[in-house]
Structure 1
Amino acid sequence: MATIDNSFKTNHTCLRVKDPQISTKFYEDNFGLKIYRTFPFPQFNFSLYMLCYNNPSSPYYNNMWADREGILELTHNYGTESDPNYTINNGNVEPHRGFGHICFSVDNIEEACNRLEKNGVKFQKKLTDGRQKDIAFALDPDGYWIELIEHGINKNIGKTDLTTYRLNHTMIRVKDPKKSLQFYKDVLGMKLFSTRVHEGAKFTLYFLGYDHDSNFVENEESKVNQAKRQSVLELTHNWGTESDPNFKGYHNGNAQPQGYGHICISMQNAEKFCNEIEEKFGDELNWSVKFNKGGLKNLAFIKDPDGYSIEIIPSWIFDGENKS
């Protein structure tokens, strides 16, 4: 296995957006995120907007953007904001299902939902809808689903504090959980936080990420503690897809019609990590771009068993280090 040190983090989730002005304002006003860095790449006709929680109480307050968890990367391809025919694939509509949602954990979910409703935010599922009364799903300007769960940190009755919010997880659907878990654990070095089986609805959820505590025990994370994390990866397996000959697989977000882009992991020595996994796994790996071989330098893109992209970057990367 490749060397997994304490610098490994799940850094960001990338979503394409139609109009960056509308989307950045939405996430700032409703979820308390702030633009931390903007990267214009006119030579490639797109810009990246890196949003995060940059509160002094954050453990990453003094870290560079790539050495953090909980970053939301909004990608804007120039011209989409004025194209009446351009739409985003939110990943939840057949036949292009794949990516499911991002999730924010909040201090007081009832008050958080009330605040969003007052702000005119639309909902896919309100707290009062359906059987699960402890989660809700809001919709962003492009129709992406945003799950809301409660972590209860500094909870006050009748109030919600945006500075306590966290970008908790990103959900993607997978065809075969055995293959996916093997990839994320054995190749990328993630750990399994918890597994939740929903027998009635015939699906299972697997939650993964990085934890460098020597006392951490896999697959025993409580729901409460997991809600306090950032940048968790949720794999959703709908039972039977792995053995269904008629199931053609999930949409990876990067094929047309596009929407979801990728998750990104960062570490101190990304080049060393890429070399190590390539040496160990060889042709078993599916690279979109090997490290430092693409138009943008100091990064790589690898694909998981379902074709979803994972970016790999060094945790020290900054504006001047990422030019073509």
Structure 2
Amino acid sequence: MSNAEDYTIKIDKAHNDPSLTFNHTCFRVKDPQKSVSFYENNFGMKLMGKKDFPDMKFSLYFLSFPKSQWNKNSQGEDDVFSAEGILELTHNWGTESQADLKMNNGNEEPHRGFGHICFSYADVEKACAELEEKGVTFKKKMSDGRQKDIAFVLDPDGYWIEIIQYIKGGESVPRTDVGTKFNHTMIRVKDINKTLAFYQNVLGMKILRKSDHPNAKFTLYFLGYPVKEGENSSSKEGVLEVTHNWGTENDPDFHYHNGNTEPQGYGHICVSCKDAAALCDEIETKYGDKLSWAPKFNQGKLKNIAFLKDPDGYSIEIVPHGLTV
């Protein structure tokens, strides 16, 4: 595809469906016991469900911060797939025994692409002090570097977790502690015009905020579905941060690592809605072979899901609400 105009067809289902949700972010982990314990004990996440796939020798673990209200699936369980802010950890069986295996965290050359996930707090200084007391490894403390209002910590596989604050002077809400939030997932993109057109027109996301950094020659765009009453873009869960380093779009040989080619690490983000089949059908009807699927809806080994590729080759899972874990 040669230009942003290829993504100008608007998908009606994406623009007129209030059930659309940025549901989860997935990356691979080496030892699930270490990873699940890390996110539960240090951040207060809860394991919502686990799904084993013996024939393909992998397991999925779904974690979330506490939510005030959950929708229910057909079995009366909390519906993981209709919520925002879910972290999916993929464990390929046996990796915990491979001493030399290292997950690609997306931040080391020549395999940069995925950048980090981000948790937001009412008080970032207090959060960082508590994490330091628990022995969590910091990639960047608040006192390091130019940005003194954020920090980065590392999980057991070396994935970066940004720590930010959602109570801000320029924001009217929220003004009190509403709990820890899985705010955003960051990926680097080559051509920002293609990326914005894709996520807005094909998946119906909106630009929630934008941040230019001319000294370092990059721009951040925060995309997602509408901010609810009482939220701001930093307290909302289910936000996609896309980082554009200026000039990458002009280099025909430049590309980012999508996390799913070797060396693997990051897997995908997931968009869910009540009728995923209808959404996928409209996308396929209107775009034909201009977009890449792997697989199309209900055509892979795992039923009732699809995987769509964005302009940089990052995977986006599309699933219906109500799937059981």
TM superposition score normalised by structure 2: 0.89
SS of the residue 1:181 aligns to? helix
Partner of 1:241: 248
Letter of the structure 1 residue corresponding to residue 188 of structure 2: R
Aligned equivalent of 2:301, options 277, 291, 295: 295
Aligned length: 301
Matches of 2:301 and 2:252, distance apart in 1 = 38
Which residue identity does 1:299 align to in structure 2? I
Q: Does 1:134 align with 2:158?
A: no
CA–CA separation in structure 2 for the residues paired with 1:212 and 1:123: 30
Q: 1:125 to 1:168 in 2, by over 3 A?
A: same
Q: Match of 1:219?
A: none
Q: Deviations over 1:50-100 (max 9, x none)?
A: 001234xx2436551101000000000000001112110000000000000
Q: What stretches of structure 2 of length at least 5 have no aligned partner?
A: 1-10, 73-77, 168-173
Stretch of structure 1 that moved more, 278-287 or 91-100 = 278-287
Counterpart of 2:7 in structure 1 is none
1:311 and 2:323 matched: no
Give the drift of 1:8: 0.4
1:27 to 39, 42, 45: 39
> 2:112 — aligned with what?
97
Residue equivalent to 1:228: 235
Task: Say whether residues 1:9 and 2:24 are aligned partners.
Answer: no
Determine whether 1:72 maps to 2:78.
no
Aligned to 1:113, the other structure's residue is in SS state: helix
**How far has the Cα of 1:191 moved from its partner?**
1.1
Q: Which residue of 2 aligns with 1:52?
A: 64
Q: 1:292, CA displacement in angstroms?
A: 0.3
Provide the TM-score with structure 1 as the length reference: 0.90
Aligned to 1:114: 129
Are positions 1:206 and 2:221 aligned together?
Answer: yes
Q: Which amino acid aligns with 1:29?
A: N
- Shift of residue 283 of structure 1? 1.3
**Residue 289 of structure 1 aligns to a residue in which SS?**
coil
Contact 1:265/1:312 (<8 A) preserved: yes
* Equivalent position to 1:260, from 263, 266, 273: 266
Distance 1:111 1:91 in 2: 28
Could you give the per-residue CA deviations for residues 107-130 of structure 1, whole angstroms, max 9, x where no partner exists? 111111111111111111100001
Q: In 2, Cα distance between the equivalents of 1:82 and 1:301?
A: 29
Seen in structure 2, the aligned counterparts of structure 1 residues 272 and 246 have a Cα distance that, compared at 3 Å, is: closer
Separation (CA, whole Å) in 2 of partners of 1:87 and 1:279: 40
Which one-letter code corresponds to 1:253 in the other structure? G
Cα distance in 1, alignment partners of residues 306 and 53 from structure 2: 17
The residue type equivalent to 1:60 in the other structure is W
CA-atom RMSD in angstroms: 1.6
Q: CA deviation at 1:284?
A: 1.1
Which of the numbers 178, 186, 190 marks the counterpart of 2:205? Answer: 190
1:43 aligned counterpart, secondary structure: coil
Kindly, what percent of the aligned residue pairs are identical?
58
Which residues of structure 1 form unaligned runs of 5+?
A: 156-160, 217-223, 320-324
Mapped partners of 1:244, 1:295: distance in 2:
37
Query: 3-state DSSP class of the match of 2:294?
Result: strand
Deviation at 1:195, TM superposition (A): 1.2
Whole-Å separation in 2 of the counterparts to 1:95 and 1:212: 36
Deviations 1:12-64 (A, max 9, x none): 00010000000000000111110001011111110000001234xx2436551
Which portions of structure 1, spanning 4 or more consecutive aligned residues, are displaced by more than 6 angstroms?
none
1:154 to partner: Cα distance: 6.3
Deviation at 1:245, TM superposition (A): 3.5
Counterpart residue type for residue 115 of structure 1: E
Q: Which amino acid aligns with 2:241?
A: E
For residues 196-229 of structure 1, the C-alpha deviation after alignment (integer angstroms, 9 at most, x for no partner) is 111011000111111287xx9xxxxxxx811110
